[in-house]
Structure 1
């Protein structure tokens, strides 16, 4: 078959292994399509039904494999300088390029084409002619993974760690500066006005209305603040939900008692929130122009996913909470972003949750004077639900 040069200017050599051709009907990403058009030639597709294999613009399976691996390597140019973490990972087995392609291309290639690409890579490896592949050192995505590994391996307590140049905390400050940039660039800070309802509750053994006051159901004092996925022990946060049903699902997921008592607070002043509810879809892996933006959005989506994972209330410290605790502390303290909390999705029902940087003194009783505090308990909002929703007791 005829060979062609790609738009990177490098001559393409047909390998000794079998290399079939495919038409562009089997590629479902417009950026990957564009990358390959310069290497196309007229031929017959080996992957279309036999009765539909007329002359068409096709590209070699090998060219497709090399193009995908080049994209995974960052097109030879990382989007940003990586934040390096000392893991001692030098003993690890080098990455498997066929597996990397499978993970990256499952949504964008037909199944039989993807298998042909993997077989092509494996056969070259077996023939002693390995494909060129060096995973791109992603400045944001890999730094998130690296942070989690480092915290676990070295038992770090990052919020209280050494801030000196070159330290783990110093590396995190550099990373978070980049994240703040993508938060601003994607307009992920939203404003909510006074009067927004936020529900919060406790599980109970009976359906009697508890007669909650703000002091009972608001943020707890520091000495009673347990470790959570977003807050360290002794750091109070106000966790709540936009809907009573979401609050019930959240609190019942970790407590076997049959009844849930919930009540609503209302915001008493405008609040600025980091909004992780509708993070934009990351650009295509094959969109060269937006590689850095893709990494940052993947980072934020992974962070939001981790925020929604279950929390274990067993009185012990959980090392895997520390990365999300650190990021939450950063957002709390960031003068650049100036946010009052985080808005994120519930993993249980897809509803909206809030984690507000509000302590017990900012949770007011219903008769509190306007202009004080941040949240005010709404009189008459209290209700008790059983978990099968067959009975609801409401305040009158």
Structure 2
């Protein structure tokens, strides 16, 4: 077999053919692709923007185009190769490589973008795919769908027995059983575990209205008694958690104080007498580039964590149905508080989560250490003032 024919077959198999040109980091927008170019420079001149330097600034276009098409074939496939059903046409309308590149967020110098488009050799028809399969889902999509199914189940189908019952005989590899959602989420939250140092200060605000005479003591400024504890975003009714904030201003907003008021507002200071192990939902991981396939697993992890935090942070309208909207986060918090073990034999102390009322504000909810007496893992009342 001739060398030319062998090369042609290789090109057809991989789906692209790169020009014999050189491209610099200024001609791509994606940070990963920029670093890829900088790490493989072998030319002094860029053939696309004509930039020139006495030191190397550009690499072979083939290096960059390979990374781009590796991503294309990870997230898209040709309809026939991916098994898309055909009946008077494919059931999913294929799109061209230019639209694929746009969807992947690829951009750069117009001439290099066109070179990437022109590199495609197999017909310019693509559909979204995972693992080469048109009906597949990427891991973060599987988990996000599982969370949505869990939310629907505990809100509208069964609240207390979702973890029981027979498992489905046949499940797609792109599905997760509702009973596995909580441990799957907890596992993926492990990288967000951190220790709050002893001596950390947090704040809790409470409003004393006209006609009331209570004083800002530890009892009054702490979590409410079990008998009167209403349902919150994190805690079920009758099971009080201690809600605090890291900033005094955030504590005021969380207590419903948005401006001047004729009521008396007390702000209590609490101290941690010992380190507190928490999951910090404000430590959102960076999302690796879509073109950085070596870190695809980390990308999937980051995408899910960010989507999950967004989902549980959505403001809830106080229209009388909030007790239903709170259920999913209450269930997962109870799982994290009572079942999840950060390390063998230990329990999680609480969660740090972003305030929905103050940009950049952070809240700390502390789980009860002893539910019978209502103690909260070394949280000490340190006084209160107006």
Cα deviation, 1:12-69, whole Å, max 9, x if unaligned, reads 3569xxx9988343224465468899xx999x978537999xx965648986764332
Q: 1:336 to 1:162 in 2, by over 3 A?
A: closer
Residue 301 of structure 1 pairs with residue 300 of structure 2: no
Per-residue deviation, 1:355: 1.2
Q: Check the 8 A contact 1:205/1:257 in 2, yes or no.
A: no
Counterpart in 2 of 1:393?
none
Q: Secondary structure at the match of 1:382?
A: strand
1:70 to 56, 67, 73: 73
Q: Gaps (5+ residues) in structure 1?
A: 75-90, 365-371, 385-396
Equivalence for 1:346: 355
Q: How does 1:151-300 map to 2 (within 5 A)?
A: 151=150, 155-157=156-158, 160-166=161-167, 171-184=177-190, 186=191, 188-204=192-208, 211-252=215-256, 260-300=265-305
Number of the residue aligned with 1:390: none
2:129 matched residue in structure 1: 134
Q: Decide whether the 8 Å contact of 1:152 with 1:319 is kept in 2.
A: no
CA distance in 2, matches of 1:62, 1:195: 53
Give 1:48's aligned residue: 49
Paired position in structure 2 for 1:367: none
**Residue aligned with 1:327, SS:** helix
C-alpha distance in 2 between matches for 1:191 and 1:59: 47
> Is the alpha carbon distance of 1:224 and 1:325 closer, same or farther for their aligned partners in structure 2, counting shifts above 3 Å?
same
| Structure 2 CA distance for partners of 1:349 and 1:117, relative to 1, 3 Å | farther
Q: 1:329 to 1:141 in 2, by over 3 A?
A: farther
* SS of corresponding position for 2:277: strand
CA distance in 2, matches of 1:133, 1:342: 36
Larger deviation, residues 334-343 vs 210-219:
210-219
1:154-201 residue CA offsets vs partner (Å, 9 max, x unmatched): 6345554142352699824544444444444x3x32223544322111
Question: What is the CA–CA distance in structure 2 between the aligned matches of 1:134 and 1:198, rounded to whole Å?
Answer: 47
Q: SS state of the match for residue 305, structure 2? A: helix
- Distance in 1, matches of 2:93 and 2:206, equals 48
* CA RMSD, Structure 1 to Structure 2 (Å): 5.2
Distance 2:165 2:176 in 1: 6
The 3 A distance-change label for structure 1 pair 163 and 266 is same
Identify the range of structure 1 (61-70 vs 216-225) with the bigger mean alpha-carbon deviation.
Answer: 61-70
